[in-house]
Amino acid sequence: MDGYDKLVPTPTAETQPYWDGLRDGRLRLQRCADCGKVRHYPRPVCDSCWSMNVEWMDAAGHGTVHSWTVTHYAFHPGFKGELPYILLTVDLPEGVRMNARARGIDASALRIGLPVKIAFDRVKDDLTLPVFEAT
């Protein structure tokens, strides 16, 4: 036991490069190796050309707020000590969105289009989660 009491991901062969990237301080996204369409979350087939050939790219690491929620209730006991916390839905310039906690952003500052940048929160030895900070 490492004392970490929150939900943890169970990566698959298809998603492991994403988590490995976070561990290394990189936000990596899947891109279709045939038509070039970027997709997220990682999956086996391109929904545009149905190719199963995939490559990984480094994302620019910034984006803008698409929507958000401020959670005041812990639906899992591991989050009780962190309430309230902000969950952001962020548009990335690569054309996909991602969800991550906000760090150091005041809820009153939130608006659609707010620029944010990625940061990396190493929550335990083998798990790094993405977070967004103000630019």
Partner 1 sequence: MSMYEAGAITGVGETKYLRGTDRSALSFQLEASLNAIRDAGLMPSDIDGLIPYGHGAVAEDFITNFGIKDLRFSATTPMGGASAVAAIQCALAVIQAGICKHVLISLGRTGYSGGRIGTRVQQMPQFKVIGEFEMPLGAIAPAQLYAPMARRHMELYGTTSRQLAEIAVTTRYHASLQSNATMKNPITIEDHQSSRMISDPLRLLDCSLESDGGAAVVISAPDRARDLAKRPIMVMGVAEGHPDSPSAITQRPDLTTLGLAKAAPKAFAMAGLTPADIDVAEVYDCFTYIVMCQLEDLGFCKKGEGGGFVQDGALGLNGRLPVNTHGGLLSQAHMAGMNHIVELARQLRGEAEAQVPDAEIGLVTGYGDMGDGALAIMRRG
Distance CA(98)–CA(29), nearest Å, equals 10
Of 40-59, which residues contact partner 1 (CB under 8 A)? Answer: 40-41, 43
Q: What is the nearest approach in angstroms of partner 1 to the Cβ of residue 120?
A: 13
48 close to 32: Cβ distance less than 8 angstroms: yes
Among 1, 2, 3, 76, indicate the residue that binds partner 1 (CB under 8 A): 76
Using the rule CB under 8 A, which residue among 27, 100, 114, 118 binds partner 1? Answer: 100
Stretch that binds partner 1, among 26-34, 55-63, 98-106 (CB under 8 A): 98-106
**Are 96 and 18 a contacting pair, CB within 8 Å?**
no
Is residue 119 part of the contact set for partner 1 (CB under 8 A)?
Answer: no
CA distance readout (Å), 86 to 1, 49, 101, 117: 28, 36, 6, 15
Best CA proximity match to 61, nearest among 110, 36, 105, 25: 25
Q: Which residues bind partner 1 (CB under 8 A)?
A: 6-12, 15, 40-41, 43, 66-73, 75-76, 79, 82, 84-85, 87, 89, 96-101, 107, 111-112, 127, 129-130
